[in-house]
Every structure is written in C-alpha cells, then in structure tokens.
Chain A
Amino acid sequence: MPHNAAAPRVLPAPALGAPPVPRVPVPERWTLPNGARVVFLPRAGIPQVALRLVLPAGSSADPAEYPGTAALVASLLTEGTRGYDATALNARIDALGASVGAHAGHDFAEVEMTLLAGTLDEGIPLLAEIVTRPTFPEDETERVRAEMLDAFEARQDEPANVADDRTLAEVYGEGHPYGRPSFGTAEGVGAVPREALAAFHAARFRPEGAFLVAAGDFDPAELRALLESAFAHWTGGAEPVAYPAAPARPACAGERVEIPWPDSAQGEIRIAGTGMVRTDPRWVVASVANYILGGSTILGRLGSNLREDKGWTYGVRSAFSAGVAPGGWVAETAVEGEFTPRAVEEMLGEMRRMMTEPVPEEELRRAKDALILSLPRAFETPARVASRFATLEAYGLPRDYWERFPEQVEAVTAEDILAVSREHFDPARVVCVTVGGAASGEQVEESEEEE
C-alpha cells in the first residue's frame, strides 16, 4: 500500500484572490430590410459558425384540430425545397460538412445550422432555401409522418416519458398548448393534411418576429452581405400567437396521480406546478430559490436529502421553464421503487421548508456566489454565447441583461425567497405524478391508466 508510509503533509486550503470579471461579449445587432433581427457574435479561434434562426412558429400556434403541425413542418424543412429535392439538398449539406436541424418547441420553431468556417458562401443560401422555400413533397411527408407516428408509440415504452407527458397535462390541462409535448399528438400528426402544413409554413415562417443569432469565426461584413442576398425575397410577418389564459394552479393541485407500471425498477416522480413568464421581474428571485431547492443536483436540498442522505436516487433536480406564456416549475427524480411514497413526502417537506423558514444567510450566499461566479463558463463557447443571446431576443429581455445579472442576483433577500416559494413550492399548489414504484396507499387519484 503506497499511502501507508509517512503520511503526506497537510497543506492549508488555498486563499483565493479576486474573481475575474466575466467577459460578456457585446454583440453587433442589426435588422434585415425585411424585418428579421440579427445578432452577430464573431469570435476567431474556433473554425466554425453556429447559426440559430428562431421563429414564432412553435406548437402553441398549432391548428386546434392538428396538434403536431409545427413539429411536422419543422421536420420537413430539409425534405425538399423549390430549388432542390430532398436527395440533392441532403447531399449538399453533407458534402459541406454542415449539420442542419429544425425543431419546434412550445413557443418557437428553431433552425440550427453549423458550418465549418469558410463555407458560409455555400451554406447561407442553403439555409435560406430550407427556411423560406420548402415544398413538403408527398412522398417525404408521408415517410416522416410514419416515423413520427412510430416514435409516439415508442415513447410510451419509457416510464420517464409517460411521467413527463402526464405532468404537462395535469399542470396546464388539455386546452392549453403547454399541456402536451411540443411534438403534438399521434392523432394530430396522423391527420394533418399536407395543405395545412404548407399553410402553417406560409403564415408563420416570416421575417417579422423572427431573429437569427450567429456566433463563431466569421467576417461580419461578409456574413451580412450573404444574409441580405439570400433572404432578400423573404417578406411579411406572422400574426401573434394567441395563448389561452394559464390556470392559476393545476386542476388537481394538492393531489397525487399514480400510474401503475408493473415490475418497474424505479418509481418516476414529478412534482409540478405553474411558474411565470420569462420576463417576470421575479425570474431571478425564482432562479435563486430554485437553485437552493433543487437547481444544484447534489448540493440542492432535494439532492442532499434523497441522494446524499438517503441514497434512494441517482439524481433529483428542479427547474422553472421559460415561456412566452407563464411556464411551469417541476421537480423530478426516479427513486428505488419501494421508497416512492416516502420520497414524495421528503420532497414535499423540503418544499414546505422553503416557504416557512427563511434561507440561512450562509446558504443564500453560496447560491449567489455559484450563480454569479459561474458566468465566465456560460460565455465560453460560441454555442453557449448564442444560446444566452437567443434567450434575450426570444423573450424581449433587456440588452444589458447579462451585464446586470450579477447585481440582480446580489439583491435577492431571504424574504424574497420565502415569497416566491409560497407561490410556487406550496404543496397545496402542485400536483404529484408518479409512474411505477410503490403506491402511496392514500388518496390515489383514479386515472384512465388504472381502468
């Protein structure tokens, strides 16, 4: 044994100097003649350009009779355009060494393109083709539709997915677009006609209200000229998405929904309620509160309890979700099956403690330090930078948001945290969904899975 000889010296813990000031990049912002906003974040060193084109064309804009329209439209952007059939288009993308992905979230559709530096002149016209001139050819549409329908079926094989989907429905109700996954329903995807896909695209993929973020190794003048040329023919604007009023709290707030899953290895747990819009002035307070409760996987109170103290789970975390309409809050974990009811009680207990006892100064200080001092990491890579600035554009947050973020975090008090906790972590205001694991034996919510 190598360490049994003379014990190594004990060194004093290092004293740390002053932390570095985060270098928040200052983007170049401009607007295309057609109204699309552009955010440039050029940085040499990494020979790649990350482009994110974001449009208000998420599932919240789905036609009521066809949930999943936005998702299917996004998937079909790369399946054929007026200039290229699907085979030719994909051959061009692959030959460039590029990657293109499009998907629909609840609020926005997003087209992401990654290009190797030096391929912008070929890549940008392809991006414009994909975004502005898709043709939704019948053959490819039916293939992608069939793949999505298979994916809906496969999704039900995994308890975690079943828990996630059910949680959305319980928090928002069937009538709200956030009440189902952004990829819609099998019924909607199966039924939506091609004409409706083309109509959705024509109405919603418009430059006014859209924005593009470019980060990485590029010459701004060159990229600007390429964008102005490639998107010159693109015009118009989309109607604002109409969001129904969000429920003040889940319909079954305070109750349990237990979905049996025979022979499950673990119990999936979701405790969820309503949150707030991303622009809510309390967002930063909520972020600090959530960080203390479950934002830090191991040090958060939920993780300290269920993982580090009890050993019942590999991980537990909680988060507020950002939204144009009020988003949600969810705490999620998977625990050893027999401990499922006790784990739920422990989680609710931690939530109750957040709303009844002021957070000790020491714990609050640690949360603030963690959130503020980790900023330099958040702006390290082009992809992370693009993501941070896409958030500002998407929700209309102030341009100096990231510069002011440290002082906003610093201003949060223990009383602020009590107030936001009472509103969002109150066990009476959340619904608890479990899939598999031991039943609570109390107040079992009858659900259709239990016929």
Chain B
Amino acid sequence: MSRSSIPSITIPFRAHTLGNGMRIVVHEDRASPIVAVHLMYHAGSRHEVPGRTGLAHLLEHLMFEGSEHAPKGAFDDLLERAGGSNNGSTWLDRTNYYETVPSHAVELPLWLERDRMAHFLSVLDQEKLDLQRGVVINERRQSYENRPYGLADERLSELLFPDGHPYGWPTIGYVADLEAMTLDDMRTFYGTYYTPSNSVLVFAGDIGPEEAFALAERYFGDLPAGPALPRREGESVEPAAGHRRETMPDRVSFPRVYRAFAVPGYGTPDWVALDVLAYLLSDGESSRMQRALVREGRIAQDVDTYLYPTELEAVFGIVATARTGIPAERLEEAFERVVAEVVENGVSEDEVVAAVRRTRRDQVAQLANVEERAESLAYAATTLGDPGRFDEVMAAYADVTPEDVRRVAAEYLRPERGATVVVVPAAGEVQDAA
C-alpha cells in the first residue's frame, strides 16, 4: 500500500473582506440546490472569565430567543417554512451559527443573522435570560450529570489545565456561575465579540462568489466593525509538572479510565502527526490499543483515542472501560505499555499509510455535505487565520512519516504531561429502591 493511494482533500474557495473587517468565504458546489451559510465568531468559553463560566454558551441560547425584527420563535419558524435547518454551537475557541437552506432562500439566514448581530440587545431581557438559564441547566443535567461517567471529562480538563487556564473549565459552565449570570455579563460579551471584525461568514453550495460577496455586502457591509481585540497569541501554558490524577466514584458498574495530554494546537505539523497516531493506536480492530486491551488483552470492553482540534493547544485523550473484574490500573498499565512500544520500536510505513487512509475515510465522509465544508473553512479562518490553511492541513497528513509518529508519541505522551481520571463504581453501588 503506497502513499500514492491516499486520496487528496481540498475545498476550493474564494475569499473577500468587507470594509468593516468581516471575512467572507465562498465555496461553490452546484451538486445540490442548497446553500450552507455559516457564521463563526471567534468567541468561545475560553474568552470567559472564572466566575462566569458558561457565558458564551448561554448567550448562544439567547441568540435564538429573538431579535428586534425577528421576535421569539421567528428565527426557527421562517427557516423551517423555507425548508431550512439551523443550529448553533459553542466550544472552547468559537461559537457558530449555521443554516442550510434551499438555494432560493439564501437571503433569509443573512437577514436573520444581521438582525441578531445588529438589533439584539434592545430586546434581550431578564425573562429570556432566566428561561434559557433553566434550559441550559437542564442541558447540563441531561448531558452530563444524569449520565454515567458524565462528569469525567469536566474533571479531566480541570486537572489537565492549570488554574486559570481558559481550557480548564467546561463550555457548559458550572451551575453556580450560570445562576450568577446577569444581563450585563451578556451585554458586555456580546458587545466585545459579536462583531463583524471578529467573525467569518462562509457560503457553501449552490451559489457563486460574486453573488455571495454582493449579498454579504448588502446584509453586513454597513455594520460597525466593533472593538479591536488583542490577539491572544502565545497563550499556551506549559503543563503543570507531574502527572495529576483523581479517582471519582460514580453510579456505574465498570471502572473507566480517562487519560489526556496537552499537545500542540490544531493544524500544527505535530498535531497532524498526533492525529495519525490516534488512528494508528485505536481506530480499527487491528490497531494497537484494540489488540492490546480488547481483542488479545481482553481487559477492556472498549478503548478509544481522540485528538481535539483546539487552538491554543490540543488535547490527546485515551479512554477505556474495564471488563468484569478488571481493576483500572491494568488499563493504565496497558496504555503505557502500548505507547512505550511505539516509542521504543517505532511504527512501520505500512501502518502509517493505513492509518492515514483511515483518517481520509472519515474526512471524506464528513466533508460530503456542504454544511461541514462551510464549518471547516470557517474554523480554519477563525483559529488559523486563513481558510486556505484547511487544504494545507489536509495535505500534511500524506507527509507524516513513521519517525514523526514515533517522535510525537515520545514527546507528548509522557505520563508527566498528562492527567488521569478514573471513574469507579461507588461503594455499595446497587440500584436498590426505597
């Protein structure tokens, strides 16, 4: 299996910047009569301050509660009537709002996004804040608290990133902070970050660049740029010395081990090599972790490795759930043994090429729809400063060598760079009833 068998991935685009600094990116693809519109603000939970965690995400919820000319309910109503879909999401580095519509309706999301970018604060009130605060606290309960192992990731981030590091708190926020949030908090964050100069607007699908640029000018060109923001470059924090670990009792039947390492951020050459390493370790039944822990070792029900594409630094994680009667320590020993084998003996060219092909399989599937392509361009523009960096990152996979994989494993997966959370069945764990 040679490297020539690795398919290439590119997303062609044209870019333009409005007078107010808003960046416009257009990817034309006429295969289906739909257009994805993707608006990304460079504002995520890392732009919050301790004591107000969860602000960015709560604001995202409020953005769906109406603006001056599209009152509560109108946003979803107008888009659904037109056959469109829409959503938003908040993560560490960015918040995005996106709509996919049949191509006749492309102006609708632009008009709606303009309204909530320019005519939002006047209709934001305490009642909306209180209501969405309740929805978000229920989201936290449903997605984290009422779910087995649900709070492990939150604890892992707290351990991995030192005090005050902006990746140290969860995007959903802490309940006490959510309860303390005020309208002024919302207004300040919105006024600082929800501006043309801090956003990227991507069109993908059944539209050409000239039409898209003209529409962007019409709907956003007259808005004020917003305050200049300091680029928070070099915010990367050296990991705290020594491995941090914690054991969390939970209402679960089997121990599960979460281990994570802080590694170079999205798009760097080492990040790409680490992504290949993640696939090589646990994607596919023949991968090293699957064999060592599940298929041959038979100490785990499942094992997974993952790499987050975050900006300041990324997180490389390994998670495994123990089989009946297996203590968590055996999983940790196996993690370390598998990584040590990679570091000491290296990996083969065939193994790397196969892993790269599997990354391609997932990338190709993900990029099959225009919504994902729009997000990929917006994300590269937001976190790497240039939508064209997306193609470069994709191309870099084909150049990853066995030595790169060995080196990044040796450099970044040392225990002293990591943190571990072990979730164990709480004492007397029995689902008995009253």
Q: Is the beta-carbon distance between B191 and A47 smaller than 8 angstroms?
A: no
Partner of A8, one of B107, B119, B323: B119
Q: Is the beta-carbon distance between B131 and A116 smaller than 8 angstroms?
A: no
Q: Is the beta-carbon distance between A376 and B34 smaller than 8 angstroms?
A: yes
Among listed A96-104, A128-136, A204-212, A424-432, interface-contacting one: A96-104
Judged by a CB distance under 8 angstroms, whether B84 is at the interface is yes
Give chain B nearest CB distance to A389 CB in angstroms.
Answer: 16
In A6-40, which residues have CB < 8 Å from any B CB? Answer: 7-11, 13-14, 16-23
Contacts of A304 in B (CB 8 A): 73
Q: Is the beta-carbon distance between B364 and A299 smaller than 8 angstroms?
A: no
In the bound complex, what is the Cα–Cα distance between A389 and B227 (angstroms)? 51
Judged by a CB distance under 8 angstroms, whether B219 is at the interface is yes
Judged by a CB distance under 8 angstroms, whether A181 is at the interface is no
Contacts of B431 in A (CB 8 A): 156, 261, 449
Nearest chain A residue, comparing its CB with the CB of B354: A95
Judged by a CB distance under 8 angstroms, whether B5 is at the interface is yes
Contacts of B427 in A (CB 8 A): none
Contacts of A159 in B (CB 8 A): 146
Contacts of B323 in A (CB 8 A): 146-147, 150
Partner of B111, one of A11, A17, A366: A11
In A233-286, which residues have CB < 8 Å from any B CB? Answer: 260-262, 264-266
In A145-193, which residues have CB < 8 Å from any B CB? Answer: 146-147, 149-151, 153-154, 156-160
Partner of A16, one of B1, B104, B141: B104
Indicate whether A20 sits within 8 Å of B104 (C-beta atoms), given known contacts A5-B224, A311-B134.
yes
Q: Is the beta-carbon distance between B324 and A20 smaller than 8 angstroms?
A: no
Judged by a CB distance under 8 angstroms, whether A412 is at the interface is no
Q: What bracket does the count of chain A residues touching chain B fall in?
A: 35 or more
Judged by a CB distance under 8 angstroms, whether A69 is at the interface is no
In the bound complex, what is the Cα–Cα distance between A436 and B251 (angstroms)? 14
Judged by a CB distance under 8 angstroms, whether A198 is at the interface is no
Contacts of A442 in B (CB 8 A): none
Give chain B nearest CB distance to A384 CB in angstroms.
Answer: 8
Q: Is the beta-carbon distance between B33 and A20 smaller than 8 angstroms?
A: yes
Nearest chain A residue, comparing its CB with the CB of B121: A3
Contacts of B360 in A (CB 8 A): 97, 116
In A385-412, which residues have CB < 8 Å from any B CB? Answer: none
Judged by a CB distance under 8 angstroms, whether B100 is at the interface is yes
Contacts of A451 in B (CB 8 A): 433
Mask: chain B, 108-141; 1 = CB below 8 Å from A; 0 = not: 1011001000110100000000111111111101
Partner of B141, one of A5, A151, A334, A374: A334
Among listed A86-94, A323-331, A348-356, interface-contacting one: A86-94
Indicate whether A46 sits within 8 Å of B102 (C-beta atoms), given known contacts A8-B223, A10-B119, A22-B33.
no
Contacts of B242 in A (CB 8 A): none
Among A95, A264, A304, the most chain B Cβ lie within 10 Å of the Cβ of: A95
Q: Is the beta-carbon distance between B361 and A154 smaller than 8 angstroms?
A: no
Partner of A87, one of B84, B131, B286: B286
Q: Is the beta-carbon distance between A299 and B134 smaller than 8 angstroms?
A: no
Contacts of B350 in A (CB 8 A): 95
Q: Is the beta-carbon distance between A260 and B119 smaller than 8 angstroms?
A: no
Give chain B nearest CB distance to A19 CB in angstroms.
Answer: 5
Partner of A78, one of B206, B285, B321: B285
Indicate whether A13 sits within 8 Å of B253 (C-beta atoms), given known contacts A2-B226, A308-B73, A311-B131.
no
Q: Is the beta-carbon distance between B357 and A97 smaller than 8 angstroms?
A: yes
What total of A-B pairs shows CB separation below 8 Å? 254
Q: Is the beta-carbon distance between B31 and A117 smaller than 8 angstroms?
A: no
Nearest chain B residue, comparing its CB with the CB of A373: B83
Q: Is the beta-carbon distance between B195 and A47 smaller than 8 angstroms?
A: no
In the bound complex, what is the Cα–Cα distance between A6 and B390 (angstroms)? 38
Judged by a CB distance under 8 angstroms, whether A383 is at the interface is yes
Mask: chain B, 199-220; 1 = CB below 8 Å from A; 0 = not: 0000000100000000000110
Partner of A98, one of B85, B227, B361: B361
Q: What bracket does the count of chain B residues touching chain A fall in?
A: 35 or more
Among B7, B84, B370, the most chain A Cβ lie within 10 Å of the Cβ of: B7
Contacts of B370 in A (CB 8 A): 380
Q: Is the beta-carbon distance between A94 and B285 smaller than 8 angstroms?
A: yes
Q: Is the beta-carbon distance between A9 and B84 smaller than 8 angstroms?
A: no
In the bound complex, what is the Cα–Cα distance between A383 and B133 (angstroms)? 37
Give chain B nearest CB distance to A382 CB in angstroms.
Answer: 6
Partner of B1, one of A95, A377, A380: A95
Nearest chain B residue, comparing its CB with the CB of A264: B146
Contacts of B147 in A (CB 8 A): 158, 160
Judged by a CB distance under 8 angstroms, whether A200 is at the interface is no
Judged by a CB distance under 8 angstroms, whether B82 is at the interface is yes
In the bound complex, what is the Cα–Cα distance between A143 and B302 (angstroms)? 12
Q: Is the beta-carbon distance between A48 and B285 smaller than 8 angstroms?
A: no
Judged by a CB distance under 8 angstroms, whether A114 is at the interface is yes
Nearest chain A residue, comparing its CB with the CB of B130: A311
Contacts of A419 in B (CB 8 A): none
Contacts of A1 in B (CB 8 A): 187, 191
Give chain A nearest CB distance to B248 CB in angstroms.
Answer: 14
Judged by a CB distance under 8 angstroms, whether B244 is at the interface is no
Q: Is the beta-carbon distance between B7 and A116 smaller than 8 angstroms?
A: yes
Give chain B nearest CB distance to A24 CB in angstroms.
Answer: 11
In the bound complex, what is the Cα–Cα distance between A14 and B118 (angstroms)? 17
Indicate whether A380 sits within 8 Å of B191 (C-beta atoms), given known contacts A14-B107, A369-B83.
no
Partner of B369, one of A78, A160, A370, A381: A381
Nearest chain A residue, comparing its CB with the CB of B78: A13
In the bound complex, what is the Cα–Cα distance between A381 and B100 (angstroms)? 14
Judged by a CB distance under 8 angstroms, whether A141 is at the interface is no
Partner of A336, one of B84, B141, B294: B141
Q: Is the beta-carbon distance between B146 and A375 smaller than 8 angstroms?
A: no
Nearest chain A residue, comparing its CB with the CB of B32: A380
Indicate whether A266 sits within 8 Å of B138 (C-beta atoms), given known contacts A46-B368, A94-B285, A376-B83.
yes
Judged by a CB distance under 8 angstroms, whether A307 is at the interface is yes
Q: Is the beta-carbon distance between B111 and A298 smaller than 8 angstroms?
A: no
Judged by a CB distance under 8 angstroms, whether B81 is at the interface is yes
In the bound complex, what is the Cα–Cα distance between A3 and B68 (angstroms)? 14
Contacts of B298 in A (CB 8 A): 143, 146
Contacts of A143 in B (CB 8 A): 295, 298
Q: Is the beta-carbon distance between B76 and A375 smaller than 8 angstroms?
A: no
Indicate whether A377 sits within 8 Å of B83 (C-beta atoms), given known contacts A2-B225, A11-B111, A336-B138.
yes
Nearest chain A residue, comparing its CB with the CB of B367: A46
Nearest chain A residue, comparing its CB with the CB of B64: A298
Judged by a CB distance under 8 angstroms, whether A372 is at the interface is yes
Q: Is the beta-carbon distance between B285 and A90 smaller than 8 angstroms?
A: yes
Give chain A nearest CB distance to B199 CB in angstroms.
Answer: 12
Q: Is the beta-carbon distance between A336 and B134 smaller than 8 angstroms?
A: yes
Q: Is the beta-carbon distance between A14 and B77 smaller than 8 angstroms?
A: no
Indicate whether A45 sits within 8 Å of B31 (C-beta atoms), given known contacts A3-B118, A13-B111, A383-B368.
yes
In B346-369, which residues have CB < 8 Å from any A CB? Answer: 350, 354, 356-358, 360-361, 364-365, 367-369
Judged by a CB distance under 8 angstroms, whether B415 is at the interface is no
Contacts of B118 in A (CB 8 A): 3, 7-8
Please list the 9 inter-chain residue pairs (A to B) with the smallest Cβ-Cβ separation, ordered nearest first. A373-B83, A97-B357, A311-B134, A20-B33, A14-B107, A94-B284, A90-B285, A314-B139, A381-B368
The 18 sampled A-B contact pairs (Cβ below 8 Å) are A1-B187, A3-B191, A13-B108, A14-B111, A48-B361, A90-B284, A99-B358, A114-B365, A150-B254, A157-B251, A157-B253, A158-B147, A266-B141, A299-B77, A299-B80, A314-B136, A314-B143, A336-B137
Residues of A within 8 A of B (CB): 1-3, 5, 7-11, 13-14, 16-23, 43, 45-48, 78, 86-87, 90-91, 93-99, 114, 116-119, 143, 146-147, 149-151, 153-154, 156-160, 260-262, 264-266, 296, 298-299, 304, 307-308, 310-315, 334-336, 366, 369-370, 372-377, 379-383, 436, 449-451
Given contacts A7-B119, A46-B364, A116-B361, 9 further A-B contacts (CB under 8 A): A2-B227, A9-B222, A20-B103, A90-B284, A94-B358, A96-B354, A264-B146, A315-B142, A380-B34
